[in-house]
A and B are shown apart, each in its own frame.
Chain A
Amino acid sequence: MAIAAEAVAEATFVEHSRGFRSRWYRTPSFVTGVSILGLIVLAAILAPVIAMHNPTDQDLLHTLAGPSWSHLLGTDDLGRDVWARLVYGARTDLQIAFLAVLFPFAIGTTIGLLSGYYGRWVDTIANWFVNVVVAFPFYVLIIALVFALGSGTRNIYIAITIVGWVSYTRIVRGEVLVAKRRDYVLAARSAGLSDPRILGRHLLPNVITQAIVFACSDIVLDILAIVTLGYLGLGVQRPRPDWGTMIADGQTYLTTHWMLSTIPGIAVVITALGLSLLADGLADLLRPE
């Protein structure tokens, strides 16, 4: 009986993955998203190779220069190569964003799983926490937290985690509420399988797909948050290259050298586009047929 229940749960999960494997290359949004993102990630990884300059090297004799063969995108107000800062900025921001999404994902999914499955007071308490966090505007809370904790990368992770777990909890809880009435869960319970086993091996694989799809768009949100914090001077600290600080630094020269502020923003937009396409494609692919 227990074996049968496990088999059903496995089958449901395998259904998802098999559908994915056979269709991923035929889903245009997924393919485009992966390509765009892939290019940017590649650029970030290869930054030391393709940058041609050190992003923090100042050259005060050649500040605010236009594009040239030695400086593909020109230099900023301290003579630093813009292209180098751009690719190293990608390195910084992407690294932080991808990592930053993991903790809220893990914590939020766990809480959602427990809250949805056990219900009653566990659920009530979890919901209370969710509602309290949600009562704050996203940016305001992040800024306040970063202020209190102090600026710097480590605190960005903490702030994003404290604010970001909420969405995952809601999504997973919703999925669990539906899934726990399904036959395979009822079968597993009546077969006497222990709760952790049910949660971990049966429920989790089947409710996690929505959370994964959301994680992709959450990375976009995180990139925006990191870049915004950088703009405000509260995020990645200078002189470490970051798209947000680049935009802020360029704002003073908006009338004469508008490219300094515009280009990093375009980089953000393209990266976000790749991720959004990826999320859309993933949602299509992981939808149970």
Chain B
Amino acid sequence: MSLGAYVVRRLLALIPIALGVTILVFFLIHLVPGDPARTILGNQATAPRVALLRHEWGLDRPLPVQYAKFMGRIVRGDLGSSLFYNTGAGHLALERLPVTLWLIGFGAVLSVLIAVPLATIGATYRDRIPDHLVRVVPLAGLGFPPFWVGIVLLLVFGLHLGRLFPVGGYGSGFFGHLHAMFLPALTVAFAIAPILIRSLRASLLEVLESDYVTTARSKGLPERRVLVNHALRNAIVSTVSVLGVNIGYLVGGTVVVEQVYAIPGVGQLMINAIFQRDFPIVQAVTLIFSVMVVLVYLITDIVHALLDPRVRFD
């Protein structure tokens, strides 16, 4: 089947999941103990305001009707209106989206730049000292809380070592972004690099024992070419899937990292909304994040299919 048909098939499979996602997001409001409207408004709750909110959110109608209203609004692009700002929650979130996307993208790139060389060294020097050093990274690295890593990096590079990087903000212009986002992106990269290293190293070890690598060596190819064009090229196919899955984790990690570095992205919007008890924004952001994750999974599948010619021929 062609790539196009493959993509369409995957998209169709996504529909029930997308529905499930909206249901979950919809139900968030019903998890709130007691009267959601009153709890959300907190100490701003006056009887008329509560009543207004209940009506606006349709909380006095039966559940299926509420859900239908909810879906109706979403389909029209209305993700609810913020309780504090006078704009739509969706609009606010989308405004800040590019910043967060920058962080995610930059972080993903850095994580690959870190993981590939380390995993390759580990696999090439299997069971020798360089490999042991490399294996420590996933072992210890998974236990580092991303926000704490961010703080430490801030401490070392932002405040001490000649104040190399700004301690917050987004910067302006492409290189300004690169500069300002370097430490946050590095923080994010450190969060998922351990998993990538572990997966790629294991994959490489397996591939290096395979027959086609022996064939490649029997051709008299230099070892570097065998490693890159034959071994790595195959090992990376399975690691792409791992990267995709972890980008989901990565996306979530940006929420905290944005807090640490005061970056004006969607994550920071969410945290602020939580403290301001601005429920619609929290709901909208959760939905947007999950759409991002699902898209990432789809892109990962497509990239995987592109890299592995055997996949399309299911």
A–B contact at 8 Å CB threshold (below): yes
Flag the segment in A78-86, A99-107, A226-234 that touches B.
A226-234
Q: Tell whether, in the assembled complex, residue A131 and residue B17 are in contact, meaning their CB atoms are under 8 Å apart.
A: yes
Q: Kindly specify which of A115-123, A133-141, A176-184, A187-195 makes contact with the partner chain.
A: A133-141
A-B interface contact total, Cβ < 8 Å: 150
A275 within 8 A of B: yes
Chain A positions within 8 Å of B148 at CB level: 227, 231, 247, 261, 264-265, 268
- Whether B249 lies near A149 (C-beta < 8 A) is no
Q: Which residues of A contact B271 (CB under 8 A)?
A: 143, 232
In the complex where A128-B17, A134-B248, A137-B293 touch, is A276 in contact with B140 (Cβ < 8 A)? yes
Q: Give the secondary structure class of A's interface.
A: helix
Alpha-carbon distance between A258 and B154 when the two chains are bound, in angstroms: 11
Chain A 128-157, CB within 8 Å of chain B: the 1/0 string?
110111111111110111011110000000
- The answer to whether A137 and B248 touch (CB under 8 A), given A145-B28, A148-B31, A149-B31, is yes
Give chain B nearest CB distance to A169 CB in angstroms.
Answer: 15
Closest residue of chain A to B139 (Cβ to Cβ) is: A276
A262 within 8 A of B: yes
What are the residues of chain B within 8 A of A262 when measuring CB–CB? 151-152, 155
* A65 lies within 8 A of chain B by Cβ: no
In the complex, what residue of chain A is closest to B21 when comparing beta carbons? A135
Chain B interface category by residue count: 35 or more
A271: nearest chain-B partner, CB-CB: B143
| A251 vs B20: C-alpha distance when bound (angstroms) | 39
Closest Cβ of chain A to B228, distance in Å, is: 29
Q: Which residues of A contact B31 (CB under 8 A)?
A: 145, 148-149
Contacts A148-B29, A232-B256 given: A217-B289 contact, CB under 8 Å? no
Chain B residues with Cβ below 8 Å from A261 are: 148, 151, 155
Contact at A135–B145, with CB atoms within 8 Å? no
**B156 and chain A: residue at smallest CB distance:** A258
Contact A136 B143 (CB under 8 A): no
Specify which of A133, A144, A150, A223 lies most central, judged by the most chain B CB atoms within 10 Å of its CB. A144
Q: A132 and B270 in contact (CB under 8 A), knowing A137-B249, A247-B151?
A: no
Q: A143, B255: Cβ atoms under 8 Å?
A: yes
List which B240-267 residues lie within 8 A (CB) of chain A.
248-253, 255-256, 259-260
Task: Indicate if A213 sits at the interface (CB-CB under 8 A).
Answer: no
Contact A224 B151 (CB under 8 A): no
Q: Which residues on B sit within 8 Å (CB–CB) of A233? A: 275
Taking the closest CB of chain A, its distance from the CB of B227, in whole angstroms, is 26
Any A CB within 8 A of the CB of B16: yes
Chain A residues in contact with chain B, CB under 8 A?
Answer: 128-129, 131-141, 143-145, 147-150, 217, 220, 223-224, 227-228, 231-234, 244, 247, 251, 254-255, 258, 261-262, 264-265, 268-273, 275-277, 280
Q: A135-B294, A138-B249 known; 14 other A-B pairs, CB under 8 Å?
A: A132-B23, A136-B289, A139-B252, A140-B270, A217-B142, A224-B143, A232-B274, A244-B145, A247-B151, A251-B260, A265-B148, A265-B152, A270-B143, A276-B143
Q: Can you list 6 A-B contacts with CB-CB less than 8 angstroms, sorted by A residue number?
A: A135-B290, A145-B31, A149-B33, A220-B143, A268-B148, A276-B140
Interface residues, chain B, with chain A CB atoms under 8 Å away: 16-17, 20-21, 23-24, 28-29, 31-33, 39, 139-140, 142-148, 151-152, 154-155, 159, 248-253, 255-256, 259-260, 270-271, 274-275, 282-283, 285-286, 289-290, 293-294, 297
